[in-house]
Structure 1
Amino acid sequence: MKTSAFLYPWDVLGDPDAPARIADLGVRQVTLASAYHSTRALTPRHPRHRIVTAEHAALLYPPDELYWRGRELRPYAAGDWAPGDAFGRAARALAEAGLDVHSWVVLAHNSRLGAEHRETSVVNVYGDRYPWAPCIAQPRVRALLVALAAEAAVRPGALGTELESCGWYGLAHLHAHDKLAGVALDDTAQYLMSLCFCPSCGQGYEEIGLGVGELRARVRWALEPVWRGGTVGAAGAELLAATLGFRTGVARALQEAVVAAVRDRGGPGFQVLLHGDPRPSRCGANVGVDAGHVLGLADGVVVPWAGGPELLEPFAAAGSEGAVVAANLTVVSGMGGRPLSLADDAAWAVALGATELRLYHAGLASDADLEAVRKAGVAG
């Protein structure tokens, strides 16, 4: 059972003990961020700091200026939280400790892009922009994400990649000082609040026979009871069914283009996994996918165990021999993880069809959490 631990480059750089500490967990692989969104991260064992603030979505390596020259949109370089080739230096240190390194690439999640290029963002039915969520129906956004995936995934020293947010982002977002909990939104309401009404999406709705003006009115009408404490009811389910085909098609086209670009650059044997959820309406880091389609496209998926063990089953049923179905288990107690139950959760995941495990997140976990991982003996 192959097990990989997630890490950021800043968990390794400046801490000479970090590679051996990770190897001591028993894992064979590290999934190391090479392109990541803004975050504030704890580094509980680092000899030089305790908090790292990544101020915006950025490349954690130097971009190839020739590769990006002339492109309308391009990613951002990191600041002092990941100077120079942070990914490359961390990858070499981990490899010297006997660990395989795979890159970890976040795609459609970029608040700075939305702030500087407002027209690239998802626009909800009320005209509110979600700057963290690039609209993947826009051709120039797709071009950016495909080019970003190819460069950020295939870094020197990486044997494969895991692609996060390779699809739609929506309303749900771990935003600073979030104040969205005043009205409960069920899954359908979340979906309707995540529908995009930018010009590209409007054209897409028209092409499948949905007048955008009428659609906007119907979505607002369906959401109106929610703001009074009710639910969207049957009207929401009808709107979900009417629009999901368009959104699924857009996401599939992006995923196909991204995987093709990564394979072309990575060559034979370069593994490509997508973080995914088998419910096609889902948005976010673990994008909604059709299990059969994604396993016919990529080498496998990484599935959030915290989303419910039942999420593994569609992928296990659709997977062919050799397909990776990795259960992503949170091992940080402070983030709702269950490191003390890791052995039981791992056995349960395997029984449901998991072929590999992921541990989120070895850099964020406390010493006690890491000790529980070691004692669980599930890494390999």
Structure 2
Amino acid sequence: MKASTFVYPWDVNGDPGAPDRIAALGVDQVTLAAAYHSTRALTPRHPRHRVVTAEHAAVLYPGDPGRWTGRALRPYPAGDWAPGDAYGEAADALARAGLEVHSWVVLAHNSRLGAEHPDTSVVNAYGDRYPWAPCIAQPATRAYLVDLAAEAAVRPGAAGTELESLGWYGFQHLHAHDKTGGVGLGDAGHYLMALCFCPACREGYGARGLDADELAAAVRAALEPLWRGAPEGGGTAPSGGAEPGGGWADVEKLLGEDTAAATRAWRDDTARTLQEAAVAAVRTAAPEGFQVLLHADPVAYHVGANAGVDPAHILSVADGVVVPCAGGPGLLAPFAEQNREGAVIAANLTVVAGMGGSPGTLAADAARARELGATELRLYHAGLASDDDLEAVHRGLGAL
């Protein structure tokens, strides 16, 4: 199985040994961040530093002034954590070590954008804004994301790209000193908290026969038992409450089938058309043979870094998907069941023990992922892993 590991430019730049060390793991490829959100990251082996603080979402290369001049929404340049063409410098070094380089592009996840342009953010049923979550229904935001995808993906020397957060973002977000875990919302609660009520979304609901004010009131009423400590999933349904873990059935119980379906129709169409536009823009900018993958979740109403998608649709748009497998490989099957010839179905395995990963079971985890349809592996994350983790990865890949 072809294997790639995620890497940040700051893991490589300034560390002459990093490219060969990564190549020695046994990976064929690196997925190198070109546009990334704010983060605080360890660099356990770097000769000059141990912690990198990326203060805001940024592009890690010089943006094209001709594309962005005069536009209110445009990408932010990185600070001293990734100066100049940090992506290009790292990509060149990794390529010299014999590694194929693909760009890693984070799109609809940008707290600075939300802080400086608050009208772009998702607004929940209570009127609270999510500054980390640009609303993908807004025309200006969609245009920004499509252009960013094309620019950040097609970097010199890149053989492909992986597009993350190309869809709706919601309540789930690790913010600075995050203190939101006191109430278990469950699958349905998180969907309700993700419903946006910005002007564009209110208009979208109206086009599908919903009154936005009535919908917001219904969402608040459905969530109220959760704030009082009801089991995850709800508790206001006529049948006596939704069952924890019931997924979409819980949403239907809480909102009613017709109302729930109308919200899905608006959100699904909005996400699908954005994904189609972004992938098309990347293909237009890219050379022939350039691979385009999406970080994706096969449950279409899910939100976050792994955008909820319809497997059949997304595999007709992109060359494949990168599927989160930190909780097990079960999400691979809905994509594999499409039997789409040539599609990449990459199992994303966490190999940092301190972040809940299991580098020591990589060979077994990869074998199980292959049984469920994985064609490739993604390993998160070579730059964050300890020496022991990397040694376990080397052994695991060697056993495949």
Fold match (TM-score > 0.5): yes
Shift of 1:321: 1.1
Instruction: Please say if 1:55 is aligned against 2:49.
Output: no
Shift of 1:237: 6.5
In structure 2, what is the Cα distance between the partners aligned to 1:57 and 1:377?
A: 33
CA contact (8 A) 1:2 1:379 kept: no
Instruction: Please say if 1:36 is aligned against 2:29.
Output: no
In structure 1, what is the Cα distance between the partners aligned to 2:47 and 2:176?
A: 27
In structure 2, what is the Cα distance between the partners aligned to 1:322 and 1:354?
A: 12
CA contact (8 A) 2:208 2:262 kept: no
Shift of 1:157: 1.1
- Name the counterpart of 1:256: 276
In structure 1, what is the Cα distance between the partners aligned to 2:339 and 2:275?
A: 17
- Name the counterpart of 2:294: 274
- Name the counterpart of 1:292: 312
Q: Of 357, 372, 381, which aligns to 1:361?
A: 381
Helix, strand or coil: the match of 2:105?
Answer: strand
Moved runs in structure 1, 4+ residues, more than 4 A?
none
Shift of 1:235: 1.4
CA contact (8 A) 1:3 1:379 kept: no
Shift of 1:174: 1.1
Helix, strand or coil: the match of 1:306?
Answer: coil
In structure 1, what is the Cα distance between the partners aligned to 2:392 and 2:262?
A: 47
CA contact (8 A) 1:120 1:135 kept: yes
- Name the counterpart of 1:164: 164
Among all aligned residue pairs of Structure 1 and Structure 2, give the percentage whose two residues are the same amino acid: 70
- Quick one: which amino acid aligns to residue 359 of structure 1? L
CA contact (8 A) 1:331 1:360 kept: yes
In structure 1, what is the Cα distance between the partners aligned to 2:383 and 2:256?
A: 41
1:18-97 equivalences under 5 Å are: 18-97=18-97
Q: 1:378 to 1:222 in 2, by over 3 A?
A: farther
CA contact (8 A) 2:124 2:194 kept: yes
Helix, strand or coil: the match of 1:83?
Answer: coil
Shift of 1:379: 8.5
Q: Of 332, 354, 372, which aligns to 1:312?
A: 332
Q: 1:174 to 1:182 in 2, by over 3 A?
A: same
In structure 2, stretches of 5+ residues that fail to align are 235-241, 243-252
CA contact (8 A) 1:27 1:379 kept: no
CA contact (8 A) 2:205 2:262 kept: no
CA contact (8 A) 2:350 2:379 kept: yes
Helix, strand or coil: the match of 2:337?
Answer: helix
- Name the counterpart of 2:137: 137
CA contact (8 A) 1:28 1:379 kept: no
Deviations for 1:262-288, whole angstroms, at most 9, x for unmatched residues?
000003101000000000111110010
In structure 1, stretches of 5+ residues that fail to align are none
Q: 1:262 to 1:192 in 2, by over 3 A?
A: same
Deviates more, 1:3-12 or 1:63-72: 63-72
CA RMSD in angstroms, aligned pairs only: 1.1
- Name the counterpart of 1:327: 347
Deviations for 1:118-154, whole angstroms, at most 9, x for unmatched residues?
0000000000000000000000000000000000000
The TM-score normalised by the length of structure 1 is 0.98
CA contact (8 A) 2:172 2:304 kept: yes
The TM-score normalised by the length of structure 2 is 0.93
Q: 1:235 to 1:133 in 2, by over 3 A?
A: same
- Name the counterpart of 1:235: 254
